[in-house]
Amino acid sequence: MPRAIISDIHANLEALQAVLADIRAQGITEIFCLGDIIGYGPNPCECVDLVMSCDLCLLGNHDQAALFDPEGFNAGAERAIFWTRKQLEASTGPKAEKRWDFLGEIPRVHRLPNFMFVHGSARNPLNEYVFPEDIYNQRKMEKIFGLVERYCFQGHTHIPGVFTEDLNFLAPEEIDFKYDLGAQKALVNVGSVGQPRNNDNRSSYVILDGQSLTFKRVPYDFETTRKKIHQIPELDNFFGDRLEGGR
């Protein structure tokens, strides 16, 4: 049965709704979310409500920051987290309590036979970035691959692609948006739903069907999201402006 894997929604309701509609249109019912439901964007409560219906959700660093105190964030991201927390706290009643319970209980790692799912990396599930240029950092990559049984799915960098055990990075465009998992270990970054950063403003996610991967791109109304961000003083305009260029 095919499974959709999404990540890094960042409170972008328009992007999340478009991706979920695309998933439903293909008849896919199982969805894994690799974290960062909130942060940067204008609709944290609504996005948490939608993600709660996923079959799995992992904790991202922005999700944890909203629960506790943000560490290692730049000033703009920190302000966004404090604003996000206020939105979650301002909501009352059973629905609001359910959101807090959900965020407080989601795990950092999920494992299935041969498959590992994290937000950041196998070495540091919450915070470690694995960028395409890390293929030149042999020591780092060997340590990460050493913690992976066969395949690891991750997000965090917002840059989709496949890292192979022989230290190559395959961008979706280079492989016609498809990749077959084989005997070699692989790290798969599924990209970002709500804050794409690969110079493509469309949302990114992955479909896993058996051993076959398909990288999906979904257009959404980023202009509406940008306007919402501009209307909230606590959110930097840049978080909205960057959506158009996917950067």
pLDDT averaged over every residue in the chain: 96
Distance separating alpha carbons of residues 227 and 110, to the nearest angstrom: 36
3-state secondary structure of 226: helix
The Cα–Cα gap between 222 and 51 comes to 19
Determine which of 12-21, 92-101, 148-157 has the lowest per-residue pLDDT on average: 92-101
151-154 vs 115-117, strand pairing mode: parallel
The sign of the CA dihedral 84, 49, 91, 97 is: negative
Share of the chain above pLDDT 90, in %: 92
- The one-character DSSP state at 216 is E
**Per-residue pLDDT band at 156 (split at 50, 70, 90):** very high
Q: Domain 3-245 has what CATH class?
A: alpha beta
| Residue 92 predicted with pLDDT over 80 | no
Q: Of 64-73, 125-134, 159-168, 204-213, where does mean pLDDT reach its minimum?
A: 64-73
Which pLDDT tens digit goes with each residue over 50-79?
A: 999 999 999 999 999 999 988 889 999 999
For residue 91, pLDDT over 80 is answered with no
What confidence score (pLDDT) does residue 134 get? 97
CA distance 132 to 168: 8
Does pLDDT of 96 surpass 90?
A: no
